[in-house]
Structure 1
Amino acid sequence: MNDIHNKENTRETDIRSYMLAIVIMGIFTFIFLCTEYLYVNRISGNISENKTVLVQNYALGVSALGFVLYPVLNRYCKKRYRKLWLIVISAISLFGILAICQSDTYKVILIAGFIVSLMLGMFGSCVFYTAAHLIKDDRYLARTAGLGYVLGILLQFINNNLVLLEMLEAIVLDICLLVLIVLLIKLEPQHTFEGIKSRQVNEASYVKVKKLGIVLILLIILMSCIFSTLDNAVTLVHAAGAFDIGQLPRILLAVSGLVSGFLFDLQDRKYMSLSMYCMMLVSTICIAIFKFSGPFLAGLIVFYLTAGFFVVFFSTSFMELSLYMKRADLWAGLGRAVNNITAAVISIGSLKLLSMGTNMFVFIFLIGMFIAVSIVAVLYTFQRQQLIDEIKEEKKTELSVQEKIKIITEQYTLTPREKEVFYQLVFTEDSIQKIADRLYISKRTLERHISSIYEKTGMKSRVGLINIYNKQ
């Protein structure tokens, strides 16, 4: 009965963790997208559509700095000050959003937008890191990221249709920001920067994890070149007022986010990169539609459908990778950072490409991107599957180790804490102080546990404990 009760409690805890992860990612997505949309609308009234696109992309680049700045502050800021600086960046964001909405001066709107983008980047990094730590079982990681994205899009859709005044929209954004900061303060991991699975990989596998991270960054950069060019094409039309995009096409984003989340999770995400590769091919066709004077509405629908897949893909991929990283707070939100910084870097070249009179360069660009993405996607898919297989084998070995530890625990009536200490003494060569730090206990408390273990087992050294383990 106790086992059944414990399983039910574990299941309820897992569901609650998934729901919290979806909520914080959804609120952040809503705030980020609505702020970006508000910023573009406010800035486009003062400058040309080409400059509007540039400013939008530069703001995304600034937000990428925020994504990278968060783990730096998280590492060097003392624990008691972390909540304080989260409150500070929240306050700066609140006033920045109000400044964007109220000011009629171009420079004020420009600077306020950049400051808010930097703060939201820091929030985003914290959100993805917290979400990755909430999810203990990553079987449903993609659908969690997808549902979070869907929630954000739906909130934006409701907001844009019900909140018609810009000032009122700014107030709604500020309220949501306050809700988000309260959740982050309550849920943010306090004890470790490591991914929850980082200790399941040995040193050789960890080197492969880092190499996979480099390949993934390169893949997202290449894909971002395509999707940022698409986004720039849509923003140009929106800023010029040549086509009323409206709100209904955004529902396509929600649909694609939902479908991609469930599709990617099939077979432990074995076919995730292949599915995304197919969507990328469709998006290259979309660029051709925009450039070669095809029906804009058709291109717009394709863009929204593929864009949702891309967001869920890079969010899921980097959150998955962060679970095995020793600096999870850096890697969890790196997908958004890489996408945003790429958008900023290629913005000028992208605009020149879209404004060229000849189609030859566009054709060369599409062929080049197709070849480059194909090569890197195959490399990433192969390395990821190889790494996953290796980790599974290591896990099987670890299970047999745990079975031996369980037998020893029952044989010598070790307490749960003594069981942990026994494991550390047998499988590490660390000093007593290092083991105490790892288990979050004092050195004196650890020494008492060791004395108890020696007394129960009749041993007087770590070598004796190792011999007990090897005899099992």
Structure 2
Amino acid sequence: MDKNIAARHADINTAVTCGTYYALYMFVFLLSELICQSKGAIAIGVEKVVSVYTVGLIFTAVGYLLLPFSRALIHGERARGFILLAAGAMALLSFGAIIFNGPPFFFMLLVAIYMTAVGYIGAFVHYAMAMEMRSSPYGGITIGCAICASIIIQYIVQNFTTTDFSLFAAITAAFTVMFLILRGREAKLASCATADSKMCRTLSCVKECRVLIAITAIMSIVMGISDGILTSLHASGEVVLSAYPRLFYAVSLVMAGYIADIKKRFYMPVATTCILLLSVVITSFFEGSYGYVISLSTLYFLGGFAVVYFTTAFMDIAPDTDNPALWAGMGRIVRSLTIGFIAIPGTMLFRCASHHLLTLISLTLSLAVLVIFYINGKLDCSRAKVPSEKLDDASFAERFGLTERESELAKIIIMSSENIKELAVQMSISERALQRSIKVIYDKTGADSRLALIRIYYENRGDSKE
């Protein structure tokens, strides 16, 4: 019991640490987006501000892609740490030039440099968090609360800060604290990578990655159309993106994070699909002052669930891939590229097409996500329920050639609701040793996940009826 309590305390401490540096990063990212848009309206004109948004998102994705590329070329911990610090310094210098009204013809270049650096740092933050919180029972709520905190801090800073110097000081302070927390993380990540190097990379993992990319891309298109429209309206002064409806984003993030941790993400696809279908309402109300408030609030509420879904999903799967530094931030990469490329066409469509057409597009895309979820079994919440009747181990073990010890371990895996780390503590063995034993059971039964093992057991019980 004491070991179990100690494990929970360790998980909570890790969640608090990871949540803190993740919140600081998201604060920097979210505040940067709005400041670049506001300054872009001054530097290059209101009518072109969506292009600033597009450039920022695309180069954010470039920054995320640079991290795995640089880690493949550079292997020393000090060298990697130096590059991360250099990215931070480059971000602050370029942000200073942006916020203090640098030359207009350099503005887009400065935005590209700044968001690339921010993306690189963000990729490292996602990678560090994915590796440190693997198997943690608090992943969803940590991500949700961290982004919620960043939203609240951003709201306070933007609404109560009146000078550019104050904004620059806030960004600098956030970067400083974040880098202090991340200091020395390279050595820890190296040990995590070594421990995970023997984990099984299965075809189901590849399939899961493809499904997640497709779902994230489609959800991002729905959000991208609305984002582009709202960015244009914000630049023209018709909508204030830092106004109180943004707090709906904070509320939805906490809700989504809580739901994500129930039954290890089982209900998250269902909840996200329901919220996504509500996004159809957005395009129906893009008219009039009250309509903008409703659409903005709905968009933010949708955004919270979508962000928590793809962030937790990719962070969960990243440690089981051959390139966790890439896959941990893949949700952000897909989102940034998709919204970046769809924002301008979406705005043009809004200007020249009817609201009914936009509603139809949103509905079609939402139904596409629903179909993908359904085909891949993501909407079957009954998967989370493990029957409570006594297990019939003998025939199951005999059928798959499990030893007595393997049969006992399989029973624990099937019946327990605790994660691998907690089970390892209870069994007084290392997590790596437990992973190896589980892999043997998976190999013998043909399972590629805990859920698959549960399904295979109940399909092959001695008392099952065909």
The alignment's TM-score, normalised by the length of structure 1, stands at: 0.77
1:195, 1:323 within 8 Å by CA — same for their partners in 2?
no
- 1:67 paired with 2:46, answer no
**Hey, what does 1:172 align to over in structure 2?**
170
User: CA separation of 1:388/1:76 partners in 2, compared to 1, >3 Å: closer, same or farther?
Assistant: farther
2:279, 2:362 within 8 Å by CA — same for their partners in 1?
no
**Hey, what does 1:336 align to over in structure 2?**
332
User: CA separation of 1:384/1:108 partners in 2, compared to 1, >3 Å: closer, same or farther?
Assistant: farther
- Counterpart among 263, 270, 274 of residue 267 in structure 1: 263
**Hey, what does 1:143 align to over in structure 2?**
141
Report how many residues are paired.
404
**Hey, what does 2:48 align to over in structure 1?**
51
User: CA separation of 1:217/1:384 partners in 2, compared to 1, >3 Å: closer, same or farther?
Assistant: farther
Shift of 1:127: 0.5
- Structure-1 separation of matches of 2:125 and 2:220: 21
Shift of 1:240: 0.5
- Counterpart among 277, 283, 286 of residue 287 in structure 1: 283
- Structure-1 separation of matches of 2:86 and 2:384: 40
Q: Which letter maps to 1:31?
A: V
User: CA separation of 1:92/1:386 partners in 2, compared to 1, >3 Å: closer, same or farther?
Assistant: farther
- Structure-2 separation of matches of 1:153 and 1:284: 24
1:325, 1:331 within 8 Å by CA — same for their partners in 2?
yes
**Secondary structure of the structure 1 residue equivalent to 2:190:** coil
**Hey, what does 2:375 align to over in structure 1?**
379
- Structure-1 separation of matches of 2:383 and 2:130: 19
Q: For 1:330-369, what aligned pairs fall within 5 Å after superposition?
A: 330-359=326-355, 361-369=357-365
User: CA separation of 1:228/1:78 partners in 2, compared to 1, >3 Å: closer, same or farther?
Assistant: same
**Hey, what does 1:131 align to over in structure 2?**
129
User: CA separation of 1:319/1:403 partners in 2, compared to 1, >3 Å: closer, same or farther?
Assistant: same
**Hey, what does 2:415 align to over in structure 1?**
none
Shift of 1:326: 2.4
Q: Which letter maps to 2:17?
A: L
- Structure-1 separation of matches of 2:198 and 2:213: 23
Shift of 1:308: 1.3
Q: Over alpha carbons, which structure has the higher Rg?
A: 1
Q: For 1:91-240, what aligned pairs fall within 5 Å after superposition?
A: 91-188=89-186, 189-191=188-190, 194=193, 199-201=198-200, 206-240=202-236
Q: Which letter maps to 2:171?
A: L
- Structure-1 separation of matches of 2:35 and 2:79: 32
Q: Which digits, 9 at most, give the CA deviation of each residue in 1:6-37, with x for residues without a partner?
A: 44433332211010111111000000011111
Shift of 1:293: 9.2
- Structure-2 separation of matches of 1:129 and 1:151: 20
Q: Which letter maps to 1:233?
A: I
1:194, 1:327 within 8 Å by CA — same for their partners in 2?
no
The alignment's TM-score, normalised by the length of structure 2, stands at: 0.78
- Structure-2 separation of matches of 1:292 and 1:247: 16
Q: Which letter maps to 1:219?
A: I
- Structure-1 separation of matches of 2:227 and 2:404: 48
- Counterpart among 26, 32, 51 of residue 29 in structure 2: 32
Shift of 1:300: 1.5
Question: Structure 1 vs Structure 2: percent identity of aligned residues?
Answer: 22
More displaced stretch, 141-150 vs 362-371: 362-371
Give the root-mean-square deviation of aligned CA atoms: 3.3
- Structure-2 separation of matches of 1:77 and 1:402: 44
2:218, 2:365 within 8 Å by CA — same for their partners in 1?
yes
Shift of 1:350: 1.0
Q: Which letter maps to 2:333?
A: A
Q: Which letter maps to 1:118?
A: T
